[in-house]
């Protein structure tokens, strides 16, 4: 630990910094290139802040947008706080805004826990994040166990802010994309090829603004390339992380490639549940998923 609440991992040519006090967010991820130079993978996260514009944060117990911060269950309507009240929505869940407890720390491993409970919110859960560095890269796993007394819908995901510079490319294959309404919620499913064709690779540094969700990400794999730097990254998801969300702003030096468990606002858009649903967990039941980041030089992946 280099300063209060910041924990640093350094092994196998990777260096990771995690802020336990601000959502257990990654504030930095670096990879040592074969020439010895360190490559910054993530856009910088301002110190002492949740990773809202850089670094990487965890989304739970839902990923992305929830319309009105509400949904219906057999036991009645569930309402959660609106953290984007001007847009009448809740976004990205609760755990990113909380201090997490560190239960294990070593040079190559960090395990943190968020025991979430709030009198005004029905969701209650224990979320464990294990971050480890091995010869094949950085692995970040999530395990969420419901501690609520009632059955509720849970989801999760990761929201990394990757650096974007000239000649930055993204490649992945998916079956289904979605239309998008003026508030950013998914509408009509359509073949992924009807939108930007990431299957052939796209230079995100030249893309117009884009915010889209993808289902049928059967390979669970995407390739990021910083061609000017000669660096490639493979991002993969498994377990519950079966979908991919991509955000490419056109005015900021960032882009996001987010392995997630469900379609945004699927709580209220049940016609889209077949493309990625939340998991209804009873007391003591668990949802788990994992993201892996592996870097190599040039065409090495």
Measured CA to CA, the distance from residue 98 to residue 90 in angstroms comes to 16
Residue-range domains of the chain with CATH:
6-297 (2.70.98.10)
CA atoms within a 13 Å half-sphere pointing along the CA-CB vector of 35: 7
Share the mean pLDDT of the chain. Answer: 95
Q: What is the pTM of this model?
A: 0.96
**What digits encode the pLDDT tens for the residues 251-296?**
999 999 999 999 999 999 999 999 999 999 999 999 999 999 999 9
CA distances to 8, 13, 32, 211 from 133, rounded to whole Å, are 11, 9, 13, 30
pLDDT band at 170 (very low <50, low <70, confident <90, very high): very high
Measured CA to CA, the distance from residue 213 to residue 222 in angstroms comes to 14
With a cut of 80, say whether residue 51 has pLDDT above it: no
Question: Looking at residue 167, what is its pLDDT?
Answer: 96
Kindly state the average pLDDT of the residues 57-72.
Answer: 97
Question: Looking at residue 301, what is its pLDDT?
Answer: 52
Question: Looking at residue 95, what is its pLDDT?
Answer: 97
With a cut of 80, say whether residue 75 has pLDDT above it: yes
Task: Find out whether 261 and 116 touch, Cβ atoms under 8 Å.
Answer: no
Measured CA to CA, the distance from residue 261 to residue 288 in angstroms comes to 10
Place of tokens 């491993």: 109
Question: Looking at residue 299, what is its pLDDT?
Answer: 62
**What digits encode the pLDDT tens for the residues 124-167?**
999 999 999 999 999 999 999 999 999 999 999 999 999 999 99
Determine how many CB atoms are found less than 10 A away from the CB of residue 257. Answer: 24
With a cut of 70, say whether residue 1 has pLDDT above it: no
Question: Looking at residue 278, what is its pLDDT?
Answer: 98
**What digits encode the pLDDT tens for the residues 3-44?**
778 999 999 999 999 999 999 999 999 999 999 999 999 998
Question: Looking at residue 2, what is its pLDDT?
Answer: 45
Task: Tell me the two tokens of residue 262.
Answer: 């469900």
């Amino acid at each position: 630990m280099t300063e209060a609440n910041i924990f640093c991992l350094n092994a196998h040519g990777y260096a990771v910094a995690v802020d336990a006090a601000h959502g257990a967010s990654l504030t930095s991820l670096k990879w040592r290139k074969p020439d010895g130079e360190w490559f910054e993978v993530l856009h910088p996260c301002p110190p002492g802040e949740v990773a809202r514009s850089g670094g990487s944060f965890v989304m739970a117990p839902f990923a992305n947008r929830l319309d009105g911060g509400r949904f219906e269950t057999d036991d009645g309507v569930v309402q959660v706080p609106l953290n984007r009240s001007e847009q009448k929505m809740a976004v990205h869940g609760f755990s990113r805004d909380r201090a997490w407890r560190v239960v294990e720390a070593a040079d190559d491993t960090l395990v943190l826990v968020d025991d979430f409970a709030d009198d005004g919110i029905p969701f209650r859960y224990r979320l464990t994040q294990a971050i480890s560095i091995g010869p094949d890269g950085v692995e970040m796993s999530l395990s969420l166990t419901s501690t609520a007394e009632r059955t509720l819908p849970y989801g999760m995901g990761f929201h990394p802010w990757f650096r974007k510079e000239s000649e930055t490319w993204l490649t992945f294959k998916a079956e289904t994309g979605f239309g998008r309404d003026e508030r950013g919620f998914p509408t009509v499913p359509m073949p992924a090829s009807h939108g930007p064709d990431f299957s052939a690779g796209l230079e995100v540094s030249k893309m117009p603004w884009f915010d889209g969700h993808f289902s049928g990400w059967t390979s669970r794999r995407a390739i990021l390339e910083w061609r000017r730097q000669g660096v490639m990254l493979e991002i993969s998801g498994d377990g519950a992380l079966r979908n991919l969300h991509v955000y490419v702003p056109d005015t900021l030096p960032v882009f996001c490639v987010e392995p997630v468990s469900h379609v945004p606002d699927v709580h209220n858009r049940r016609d889209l549940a077949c493309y990625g649903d939340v998991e209804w967990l009873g007391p003591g039941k668990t949802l788990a998923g994992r993201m892996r980041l592996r870097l190599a030089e040039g065409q090495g992946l």
